[in-house]
Amino acid sequence: MRDFDEHNITQSVIERFGNTPDPRLKTILNSLVTHLHDFIRDVDLSFEEWQAAIKFLTRTGQQCTDTRQEFILLSDTLGVSMLVDAINHRHRDGATETTVLGPFFVNEAPALPMGANIAPNTEGEPLYASGVIRSTHGTPLANARVEVWQCNKDGFYDVQLSPTLNLRASFQTDAQGRFAFWSILPTSYPIPYDGPVGDLLTATKRHPYRPAHLHFMISAPEHETLVTHVFVKGDQYLDSDAVFGVKNSLIEEFKPHASGTTAPDGEPMTKPWRSFSYDFSLKADR
Amino acid sequence: MRDFDEHNITQSVIERFGNTPDPRLKTILNSLVTHLHDFIRDVDLSFEEWQAAIKFLTRTGQQCTDTRQEFILLSDTLGVSMLVDAINHRHRDGATETTVLGPFFVNEAPALPMGANIAPNTEGEPLYASGVIRSTHGTPLANARVEVWQCNKDGFYDVQLSPTLNLRASFQTDAQGRFAFWSILPTSYPIPYDGPVGDLLTATKRHPYRPAHLHFMISAPEHETLVTHVFVKGDQYLDSDAVFGVKNSLIEEFKPHASGTTAPDGEPMTKPWRSFSYDFSLKADR
């Protein structure tokens, strides 16, 4: 076929994908081509705008490194990540709500024992975190894997600063499904905005901030892995998270405690500190 | 706002772009978010599929270099480039039809005199190309700039092989609007398929070939710049161009001539050669 015009080209591209062996890939490509072409027709995209889009996407790809994922940032700021999250977690049935993975997860965080400090030699207000992992039926899940990662007091993740892992670890729950660790209070922070996604936020007068939170990824045999955050109650960005990730059920009070008090693990505290406790519910595997 | 779900997130993201100062950017982003979210909802995109998409886009960006534009290849193979072309050239009013720019245009091709050879010391069947540049009213356009680029006899562009420019040049038309040059016969060729776009074509059982053609970009004062090809009549890929670029009006016979004949510029030919003549019409500027 020849002489494609703006009306017949979409169906022709779809037909060209007609021999795709994987039916799911074929479905996805047909829908992608349909919606992408509709977008271009709707806005009557100019050649110069197309060139700008090619340049933007190229810069976005080239900004990516082992420790920087600019396409995830783009997906996050366009609400795509949270939409995908919502679609894939329609029926919680009492399980803890989910939110974005974000671009800072690292697979090989150190495995630490119950009660360890994930932020040794790191400035910040001490934070004692604890909770219980249960199934949605209320059964405590022993030996569940609790992976946690968070930013430092200045809003940076370890991978943004140096090759040394810090402020991240994985724990195993005890026989009662409990986990506990020491860390420092995270702060609200801007997503990295020195790349194309930052330029997009600037051009659209959007701020790049996320409210303070700890990331959790929790997995246990025969249960769906849970990817979520615990947000710090009272943060000024809870209603305008740059990545649309906040859910009320994930906000927890990070209780302030005075110097001279004793922590739950018996540690006598010589400066002010915080604590929170959050219990997570995991859904059984389908 | 908090607790976004798959139904309310789209409008919320659009509202977040509400302060965009440039009204055109705002229009484009609103439409992009709407269609992108519709696509994701339509196919019920899984988290693993989203991860695969992030990885594919990242690889596509990282495949790009000064001489390789993988996002243009992606746009071309999804029919996006030809759709943008069609939208921006709705009313030709007798002007020559347009087709894709492609990823191999180079700004600084050498300016050569009328009749020069753009393929010196290059193997292939000699080709004599000529034509006239006119306005749509029929007036010959003197001093029009005719930029031409093409692949070699093996289907490769200069930039794919070495830093030395070859098989590309710019010419100026004479007082009668004429241009002429020597080259070699181009061949049909696969678009670069050793990257993510090639993987997509393989996974969807699409061939990567384009029918043989010469690229032209023609500009003259007070006229719209024309980006187009001249295709070689009889090529086996005219009906299945990997980038949907073929128009019947752009196909020309590349006439074969025997050894021992004389070329239009008086050159005695000692081997078989080809020639084509194509006249281009440029539309007056809006």
| Cα B45 from Cα B37, distance rounded (Å) | 10
Q: Which residues of A touch B102 (CB under 8 A)?
A: none
Query: Would strands A280-282 and A126-135 be described as parallel, antiparallel, or unpaired?
Result: parallel
Mean pLDDT, rounded, for A115-119: 97
Which of A10, A19, A51, A54 to mutate to test binding with chain B, by most B CBs within 10 Å of its CB?
Answer: A54
User: Residue B234: what pLDDT?
Assistant: 97
Q: Return the biggest CA–CA distance within chain B.
A: 81
- pLDDT of residue A286 exceeding 80, the answer is no
Q: Which residues of A touch B72 (CB under 8 A)?
A: 54
Q: pTM (2 decimals)? A: 0.93
For tokens 């671009």, name the residue: A103
- Mind listing the pLDDT tens digit for each residue in A7-37? 999 999 999 999 999 999 999 999 999 999 9
Token pair for B11:
């409008």
User: Residue A281: what pLDDT?
Assistant: 98
The third-level CATH classification (topology) of the domain covering A91-282 is Protocatechuate 3,4-Dioxygenase, subunit A (2.60.130)
- Please state the domain extents for chain A: 9-80, 91-282
User: Residue B163: what pLDDT?
Assistant: 87
User: Residue A118: what pLDDT?
Assistant: 98
Put simply, the answer to whether A46 touches B81 (Cβ < 8 Å) is no
Q: What dihedral angle (degrees, nearest 10) is formed by the CA atoms of B33, B35, B41, B43? A: -130
Among A6, A61, A239, beta carbon nearest to B57: A61
User: Residue B195: what pLDDT?
Assistant: 98
B84–chain A nearest CA distance, Å:
6
Token pair for B268:
């005695």
Q: What dihedral angle (degrees, nearest 10) is formed by the CA atoms of B109, B113, B115, B117? A: -40
pLDDT per residue of chain B (286 residues) written in tens, 0 to 9: 889 999 999 999 999 999 999 999 999 999 999 999 999 999 999 999 999 999 999 999 999 998 899 999 999 999 999 999 999 999 999 999 999 998 899 888 999 999 999 999 999 999 999 999 999 999 999 999 999 999 999 999 999 998 899 999 999 999 999 999 999 999 999 999 999 999 999 999 999 999 999 999 999 999 999 999 999 999 999 999 999 999 999 999 999 999 999 999 999 999 999 999 999 999 998 7
SS3 of residue B180 by DSSP: strand
User: Residue B281: what pLDDT?
Assistant: 98
Mean pLDDT, rounded, for A74-81: 97
Contacts of A108 (CB under 8 A, 6+ apart): A165
CATH number for the segment(s) B81-282: 2.60.130.10
User: Residue B67: what pLDDT?
Assistant: 84
User: Residue A103: what pLDDT?
Assistant: 85
User: What is the ipTM metric for this complex?
Assistant: 0.93
Contact B18, B33 (CB under 8 A): no
Put simply, the answer to whether B205 touches A41 (Cβ < 8 Å) is no
Q: DSSP character for A48?
A: H
Count of pairs with CB atoms under 8 A, one residue in A, one in B? 220
B2–chain A nearest CA distance, Å:
5
- pLDDT of residue A255 exceeding 90, the answer is yes
Q: Which amino acid is at B49?
A: E
Q: Which amino acid is at A246?
A: V
Token pair for B196:
């993510």
